[in-house]
Amino acid sequence: MNKIISILTMLTMCLSLASCGEKPQPATTEVPIATEESSLIDTMTLEEKVGQILFVRCPETEEEVNSLMAKNPGGILMFQRDFDGLTKDDVISKIDGFQSASKIPLIIGVDEEGGTVVRVSANPNLAREKYKSPQDIYNEGGMEAVIANAKEKSELLLSLGINMNLAPVADVSTNPDTYIYKRSFGQGYEETADFISQTVTAMNDAGIWSVLKHFPGYGEVTGDSHKGTVYNEKSAEDIHSTDLVPFKAGIDAGASCVLVSHNTVNSLDSENPASLSPVIHDILRSELGFDGVIMTDDIAMGAVADMENVYTKSVNAGNDLLITTDYETGYNQILAAVKSGEISMETLDSAVEHVLKLKGLI
């Protein structure tokens, strides 16, 4: 436990790096962690390990914050409501408070894609105007403008204490009638791959963690998995030759994380949503060679929210980080599953290792 608590000594260093826009660095010798990667995990309790794989929606009250921090979450995901009416100093103070209350440095994430999904820039106290979508920026100023915007967004988020942007969107869509089109780059798979590669590189250079979404590609569907089950009927051949290309480009550029969608991709696994599919996670690990953090889309979404043992299935499918609002249910379900052997310690430790490696703690 002393080793866990001692990680607080690097917290100031982590925050100062973020404010300077530098890429987060691995733990230094200032943190007394043995050289073996498993050593930090060996000092953690089972309960602390379970907490580290939860990426929780931002609490609204001090009481809720205290309750959440007792679970040692891996991160906090902030939404527009969490910034409304706040000044820059207010946001910095709020995030500093989260970090100070946490035994282990937190991932602080937002969805700041631009266009229809803007959590931070929707607040005029924090940005001159809402960021436009990469698609619109590209149509107006080309790739150079897109990359400049990615850099500007990253620097703004980092200045607030936010170390992860759940972007860029790697889905391929050229059909305005599909659900994901406005959030996509709006171009073919080759152009989208170039956009993803350059955006990830710009984010890495700025020092913010990127998240490719929504693996293995949302597809040309009109349904919204926030509301219910969505089926992607593309052939496996088409998915491999087109949809996976931007994800591979992002992985090769050094993407930190990949978010897996709740869509059911019938040609790859007709029995499970992608987020709960070991088959689809194996494609990401084995075929595309991704060794970073795999996260679910929000488990509160209609496509999976009512599924039995959804948190247990998410972990066993190969996810390292689970986005959730109902963290109490997730925490208790995963803890019970590990104790019963339904989730193996090896599986849990693997997920925790990926999260701690992202944070630079092992």
State pLDDT tens for residues 233-284. 999 999 999 999 999 999 999 999 999 999 999 999 999 999 999 999 999 9
Distance CA 35, CA 253 (A): 27
* pLDDT at 16 > cutoff 50: no
Omega cis (within 30) before 168: yes
pTM of the model: 0.89
What confidence category does residue 26 fall into, taking pLDDT thresholds of 50, 70 and 90? very low
Q: What is the H or E stretch that residue 272 is in? A: none
The dotted CATH code for 48-356 is 3.20.20.300
Residues 70-84, mean pLDDT to the nearest whole number = 97
Cα–Cα distance between 107 and 101 in angstroms, integer?
13
Segment 209-235 shows an average pLDDT of: 87
Is residue 18's pLDDT more than 50? no
Structure tokens belonging to residue 302 = 């209609």
Whether residue 32 is predicted with pLDDT greater than 80 in this model: the reply is: no
pLDDT of residue 226: 78
Strands 112-114 and 117-118, bridge-based pairing? antiparallel
Q: CA torsion, points 210, 216, 220, 225, in degrees to nearest 10?
A: -80
Beta bridge partners of 114: 117
Domain ranges of the chain: 48-356
Instruction: Summarize pLDDT for 187-215 with one digit per residue, the tens.
Output: 999 999 999 999 999 999 999 999 999 99
Contact 257, 263 (CB under 8 A): no
Share of the chain above pLDDT 90, in %: 82
